[in-house]
Amino acid sequence: MLFNSYEFLIFFPAIVIMYFLTPFKWRWLLLLAGSCYFYMCWKPEYIVLMMFPSFIDYYVAMKMSATPDMARRKKYLWLSLTTNLGLLFVFKYFNFFNESFRALFESLNVSYAVPVANLLLPVGISFYTFQTLSYTIDVYKGAIQPERHLGKFALFVTFFPQLVAGPIERSSNLLPQLQSLRYKFDAGRVTDGLRLMLWGFFKKVVIADRLAASVNLVYNNPGEYYGLQVVLATIFFAFQIFCDFSGYSDIAIGAAKIFGVNLMKNFDKPYSAQSISEFWKRWHISLSTWFKDYVYIPLGGNRAIKWRWYYNLFITFLISGLWHGANWTFVIWGALHGFYLIFAIISRPYKDALIGLIGLNKRPLALKALQIISTFALVNLGWLFFRANSLADAMLLLKNMFVFAPLASLFDFITPGALAINLMLITILELAHYLEKDKPFMLSLTSKPALIRWPAYVAVTLAILYLSTSAGQQFIYFQF
Amino acid sequence: MKKFIIKFALFLAIIFTIDLALSRLLDCGRPVDYAAFVDSKKEYDNLEKVDILFIGDSQTADGFVPSVFEEKLGATAFNYGVYQLSPFEGYFLLRDLLGRREQAPKLVVLGTDAQMFHYHVSDGKYSPLFIKNPVNLLSMFYKSSNLGALSATGRKKYLFAGLIKRITTGQAGAEVRREVEKIENGYLLNEKHYADRSQFDCEKDRGFFSAVPVEKQKEYFFKTLAYLQERQIPFVVANLPMHKNFLAGMKAKPAYEEFSAVMAEIESSHGAEIFNKDHALLVNELRDEEFLDGDHLCYPGAKKFSSAFADYLAGAGFGFNSNRNPDPASLALRAAF
């Protein structure tokens, strides 16, 4: 079930009402049933695919906690890793590697007969796999105690607000909250949840879906657009993917808040980052911290010789790219970010010297603006690979980006009015980011008088009603 | 909790009130010919009898000239083809029109075209003419679409119909689709309509239609056929002509193949005969200037096509004289439906 679906409009209020009418001790069961229904609306049989590794993880965690013998614990950990990553490989990566090997063998004139597997990618598999993996790894390390209640553990895996596109929660944050669920109706918390959801819907159905129309036109016809057209479509995609994914996160966090559950922050104004390393502290925080904790640091992190450190960074981002999708475009995207970070480390002394030389260090505002713009430009180059339908398309778009096209050619793929609306929406978004302090924009409004608050809520609701597009798009991160 | 519920209800009431207030802008945002369709319906209500009722989208609206059927068959024909009418909307239009008269027409002609199942659910600027109860729209969206599409549909069909489009396309004033000189039994006549040869390319509507067939549109077309059968009203499914260049391009598209498959399904499941099934009728006889664009006829072309269709009906044994029952010969054809 999609958050932006008609079904969700009925499902969500119904489950919220039932939740507050259900005695505390049975709420886990209601949420578990609701979460299973939410997932099964997509493809009922695939619930088994999610539950099977969950049972293995439950069993493995119990066994690990029962033995202090690290060698035995490691065997159980391997069982969990093999099951989870094995399923992820089969459903998400098998065809990708299979086709890559086929191309390689064919180029060497060697026959290759492994058939293509006709498997549908289970929605959210990368998200729930990583969430349960972090659980078993934490139990293995002794960082947390295992959850002994099978039902509540199943709810930890399936909790519907964050099931299919995150935030990827840590068991240390989510499990304790799901254990009790002893929350009485709190109007303030419910209202905050609704505010976040409203803002999330605005970002998704108004901004992201509107921008998608122009982006799709260019990226699905890469040979037909040049220069500024490609540049503008790529910038639009940067805001589209941000609004799409952070919109989903806002809805997820808001929905969970209504049930009294606090999910982790997933985005923090990523396009105001002054460096790529800062960008990754602000973008998809739940995933980047996951990679830091479970890949980068175990590889040795930055506490190693220089080359090993670079290697650790590069490998982490390469895997992060592959996590997003079984396509070379994502691998290149990940590799590009790994390269950016390594290059930033290597070039830091030269960059500092250059800043001093041209006197930018005496103009902090100009320096900040330059850093934000250059970071945004680098991120956009990555988005070009991320969004392109194939590596060949990405290269063509990259080439076409440097072919001159007059300013008026912009209007070949977007009307002046639509361009004005899109730019206005992006401005509103950035203005909201500017106005928010330590809380998301909608929550920061709570301290304002009703005369400001209410018109803002009404305006956002009306924008959803009047500015949303008919060609509703699925959330981009569902495919991951 | 009480305070929360009151506040929430108040919020919804504000949204609803603003929405309602904005809907008063509806008429000024409608295309100029919206009023013509309103008048046309009044004409339909006032007619003494309707023997043949044409329903379909713009191809139908432009393609059947009722006066030709009067001349050739002595039948009172009424054309309620509406621009951008999707099969979903057509179902409600048919129910509305049949419900307005005691006597059912002797024949309903469902005009079809190759892209009719590719209409986006949210398109259709004339919907309030026949979907009186917007709740009906929900059936279109259940298990098929999303919140964005639902709100966009509500907006396009019931609110700000032309306003947003005017902002985004820069068009001033209400959208002019066809200027109307006079209405003749539903046919919006304008003899000054002329051919736009640049529009003979079948890519002219690129981006307007959905890339893949919309299942709900098919579902509602079959529902329309079932409804007619249930009420035992004879019907004919008629393909409207296309310009030969347009037809050649269209035939190369998957949409044409999919459309042909649906037509074949109609033939096999409903035993219905499709008029101009392969779109070959008059393909070489219709001249460029008899087309408005690649898939719409202008008045002279429509007269030619209507004449051919009238001949077909006569040949099939349909009789429409006075109030008498259809000719026995036509019963054979009807039995097939």
- Reported as a single tens digit per residue, the pLDDT across B53-67 is 999 988 999 999 999
Q: Which residues contact B158 (CB under 8 A, 6 or more apart)?
A: B23, B26, B127, B128, B134
Which pLDDT score, from 0 to 100, does residue B204 have?
62
Least confident of A416-420, B39-43, B134-138, B166-170: B166-170
Tell me what the mean pLDDT of segment B87-104 comes to: 88
A238 falls in which pLDDT band (50, 70, 90)? Answer: very high
- Using DSSP, state whether B50 is helix, strand or coil: coil
Which pLDDT score, from 0 to 100, does residue A384 have?
94
Higher pLDDT: B255 or B138? It is B255
The sign of the torsion formed by the CA atoms of B5, B6, B9, B14 equals: negative
| A128 close to A156: Cβ distance less than 8 angstroms | no
Whether A333 shows a pLDDT value over 90: the answer reads yes
pTM of the model: 0.70
Whether A161 shows a pLDDT value over 70: the answer reads yes
Which pLDDT score, from 0 to 100, does residue B174 have?
44
A385 falls in which pLDDT band (50, 70, 90)? Answer: very high
Inspect the interface and report whether the beta carbons of A421 and B167 lie closer than 8 Å: yes
Least confident of A409-418, B229-238, B295-304: A409-418
Q: Which helix (H) or strand (E) holds A63?
A: helix A46-66
Q: Is A48 on the interface with B (CB under 8 A)?
A: no
Residues of B with CB below 8 A from A221's CB?
none
Tell me what the mean pLDDT of segment B36-43 comes to: 81
Residues of B with CB below 8 A from A187's CB?
1, 3-4
Give one DSSP letter per residue of B241-271, joined into a string.
P--HHHHHHHHTSHHHHHHHHHHHHHHHHH-
Inspect the interface and report whether the beta carbons of B151 and A465 lie closer than 8 Å: yes
Q: Is B156 on the interface with A (CB under 8 A)?
A: yes
Least confident of A26-35, A46-55, A110-119, B28-37: B28-37
Inspect the interface and report whether the beta carbons of B168 and A421 lie closer than 8 Å: yes
Please report the residues numbered 5 through 34 in chain A whose beta carbons come closer than 8 angstroms to any beta carbon of chain B.
5-9
What does the alpha-carbon distance between residue B178 and residue B169 come to, in Å, rounded to a whole number?
A: 18
Whether A361 shows a pLDDT value over 60: the answer reads yes
Give domain limits for chain A: 6-182, 188-479
Class of domain B49-146+178-336: alpha beta
Q: Is A461 on the interface with B (CB under 8 A)?
A: yes
Give domain limits for chain B: 49-146+178-336
Q: Most B CBs within 10 Å: which of A3, A6, A9, A422, as the mutation test of the B interface?
A: A6
Higher pLDDT: A120 or B286? It is B286
- Tokens describing residue A173: 């944050």
Tell me what the mean pLDDT of segment A251-263 comes to: 93
Tell me what the mean pLDDT of segment A192-206 comes to: 91
Alpha-helical (H) ranges within chain B are 2-23, 26-29, 34-46, 58-63, 66-73, 87-100, 136-141, 147-158, 163-169, 215-230, 244-251, 254-270, 299-315, 328-336
**Cis before residue A298, ω within 30 degrees of 0?**
no
A335 falls in which pLDDT band (50, 70, 90)? Answer: very high
Which of A6, A187, A467 lies at the smallest CB-CB distance from B145?
A6
Residues of B with CB below 8 A from A183's CB?
none
Tell me what the mean pLDDT of segment B64-82 comes to: 92
Q: From B3, which residue of chain A is nearest by alpha-carbon distance?
A: A187
Q: From A189, which residue of chain B is nearest by alpha-carbon distance?
A: B4
Burial label, A109 (beta-carbon count in 10 A; 0-12, 13-18, 19+)? exposed
Q: From A4, which residue of chain B is nearest by alpha-carbon distance?
A: B147
- Reported as a single tens digit per residue, the pLDDT across B152-195 is 666 555 555 445 554 555 444 444 556 677 788 888 877 666 66
- Using DSSP, state whether B238 is helix, strand or coil: strand
Please report the residues numbered 195 through 214 in chain B whose beta carbons come closer than 8 angstroms to any beta carbon of chain A.
207
Average pLDDT, chain A: 87
Whether A31 shows a pLDDT value over 70: the answer reads yes
Inspect the interface and report whether the beta carbons of A458 and B14 lie closer than 8 Å: yes
- Reported as a single tens digit per residue, the pLDDT across A277-287 is 999 999 999 99
- Reported as a single tens digit per residue, the pLDDT across A66-82 is 888 888 888 988 998 99
